[in-house]
């Protein structure tokens, strides 16, 4: 699991980096908001931890730019020394997934990360059961259909996992692009349609609805 940490306090960044790495996470440390934003635009991470009060760009500015300009839904936790509700409200209005006020126990951070991993299916080992006949194992890139195991390509796995995480709502092609591919590997619309066609052939055509002119909807 890859985690970006935006924190300019050297003592705290060292503590958090060591703790997260000890938990087995790959940590990318950034000390100013501009560097963090540029990295998140060009690279995929599983989770981002953003301090609010950072040089060049604040954590809130990074959050706002990712959510509004790039339609990026990377799970994000805001870390802040602010104790007021104003910053908390702004963070959730901008689309943050969780918010922790400093000082906090490392165990609290661990539990909040675990919660987001469950919500976003990050490195989960449990099978996802679609119905009595079909289950999905993201970590193995496999579908089990009536006892027959079907392997998925990595991008097919990522698309299906994203659809399931955001089931029962319409996902635009742009949102899918921003959250499954990096900018260096942006596919054509035709390529996306082929991936979705392949998934439909395994799950059944009615599982993923095409919303004409808008995108797709995974129904569960």
User: Which domains occur in the chain, in start order?
Assistant: 2-120 (3.40.50.2300), 137-218 (1.10.10.10)
Q: Where are the alpha helices (DSSP H) in the chain?
A: 10-22, 33-42, 59-64, 85-93, 106-120, 154-165, 173-180, 189-203
- pLDDT, averaged across the chain: 90
pLDDT in tens, 109-161: 999 999 999 888 887 556 788 888 999 988 788 999 999 999 999 899 989 98
Confidence of residue 91 (pLDDT cuts 50, 70, 90): very high
pLDDT in tens, 94-113: 999 999 999 999 999 999 99
Asked whether residue 220 carries a pLDDT value surpassing 90, the answer given is: no
Contacts of 100 (CB under 8 A, 6+ apart): 77, 78, 79, 80, 108, 109, 112
Task: Note the pTM of the prediction, 2 decimals.
Answer: 0.69
């Amino acid at each position: 699991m890859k985690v970006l940490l935006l924190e300019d306090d050297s003592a705290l960044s060292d503590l958090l980096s060591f703790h997260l790495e000890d938990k087995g996470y790959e940590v990318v440390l950034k000390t100013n908001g501009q560097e963090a934003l540029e990295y998140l635009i060009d690279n995929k991470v599983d989770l981002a931890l953003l301090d609010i009060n950072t040089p060049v760009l604040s954590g809130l500015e990074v959050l706002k730019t990712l959510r509004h300009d790039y339609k990026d839904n990377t799970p994000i936790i805001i870390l802040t020394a602010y104790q007021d509700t104003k910053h908390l409200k702004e963070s959730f209005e901008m689309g943050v997934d969780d918010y922790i006020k400093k000082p906090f126990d490392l165990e609290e951070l661990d539990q909040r990360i675990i919660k987001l991993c469950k919500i976003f299916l990050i490195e989960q080992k449990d099978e996802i059961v679609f119905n009595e006949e079909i289950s999905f194992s993201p970590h193995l890139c496999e579908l089990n259909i009536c006892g027959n195991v079907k392997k998925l390509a990595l991008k097919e796995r990522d698309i299906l996992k994203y659809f399931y995480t955001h089931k029962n709502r319409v996902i635009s092609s742009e949102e899918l692009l921003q959250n499954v591919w990096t900018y260096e590997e942006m596919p054509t619309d035709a390529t996306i349609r082929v991936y979705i066609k392949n998934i439909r052939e395994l799950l059944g055509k009615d599982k993923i609805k095409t919303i004409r002119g808008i995108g797709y909807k995974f129904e569960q």
